[in-house]
């Protein structure tokens, strides 16, 4: 069974992330979405809230699991019996950083392959930070994040 891990902060999940999850779920037998518990990034949502939102928007996908993790990604992947790390590439600007991360993860554990998926061009300009900034200015989040979670984001800026 081919198990892939799709890691990120997902603070919050965007339509760009969801697109990668949907496509990866068609390529791999199982996709484990790994939510990094990264207090250093001063997240808007707790890891539990982020996991719950991803659960909500992926409930139709039977082979998708969601969990949070702390520490190294390769250790999380191992704990899930995954052999593949999936990452989305939005623009060429993502490439250098992702290339470095892929090589580092390979050095940490050569058993893992990082597979890149090109983010759909209609989502290439979205990031979680942009979504938060827009929400802070009461901007319209339609089309940027799954509609089920828009109210949860707005709630944080009340």
Report the catalytic residues: 17, 41, 90, 128
Give a three-class secondary structure readout of the chain: CCEEEEEECCCCCCHHHHHHHHHHHHHCCEEEEEEECCHHHCCCCCHHHHHHHHHHHCCCCCCEEEEEECCCHHHHHHHCCCCEEEEEECCHHHHHHHHHHHHHHHHHCCCCEEEEEECCHHHCCCCHHHHHHHHHCCCCCECCECHHHHHHHHHHCC
Question: Quick check: 7 binds ligand COA (CB under 6 A)?
Answer: yes
Q: Which of 4, 17, 24, 51 touches ligand COA by CB under 6 A?
A: 17
Query: Within a 10 A sphere around the Cβ of 39, how many other Cβ atoms?
Result: 10
Question: Quick check: 82 binds ligand COA (CB under 6 A)?
Answer: no
Q: Under a CB-based contact definition with an 8 Å cutoff, are residues 23 and 118 in contact? A: no
Question: Quick check: 8 binds ligand COA (CB under 6 A)?
Answer: yes
Question: Quick check: 51 binds ligand COA (CB under 6 A)?
Answer: no
Q: Which of 81, 91, 100, 129 touches ligand COA by CB under 6 A?
A: 129
Question: Quick check: 145 binds ligand COA (CB under 6 A)?
Answer: no
Q: Of 24-32, 60-68, 120-128, 145-153, which segment contacts ligand COA by CB under 6 A?
A: 120-128
Shortest Å distance, C-beta 49 to ligand COA: 15
Q: Which of 31, 32, 82, 88 touches ligand COA by CB under 6 A?
A: 88
Q: Of 11-19, 22-30, 56-64, 145-153, which segment contacts ligand COA by CB under 6 A?
A: 11-19
């Amino acid at each position: 069974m081919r198990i892939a891990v799709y890691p990120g902060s997902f603070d919050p999940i965007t339509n760009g992330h969801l697109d990668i999850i949907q496509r990866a779920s068609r390529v791999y037998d199982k996709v484990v979405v790994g939510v990094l518990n990264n207090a250093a990034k001063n997240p808007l949502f707790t890891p539990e809230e982020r996991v719950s939102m991803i659960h909500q928007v992926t409930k139709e996908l039977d082979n998708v699991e969601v969990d949070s993790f702390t520490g190294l990604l390769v250790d999380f992947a191992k704990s899930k019996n995954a052999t593949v790390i999936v990452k989305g590439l939005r623009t060429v600007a993502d490439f250098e950083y992702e290339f470095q991360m892929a090589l580092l993860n390979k050095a940490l554990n050569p058993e893992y392959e990082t597979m890149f998926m090109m983010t759909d061009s209609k989502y290439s300009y979205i990031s979680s930070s942009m979504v938060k900034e827009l929400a802070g200015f009461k901007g319209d989040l339609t089309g940027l994040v799954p509609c089920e979670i828009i109210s949860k984001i707005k709630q944080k800026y009340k």
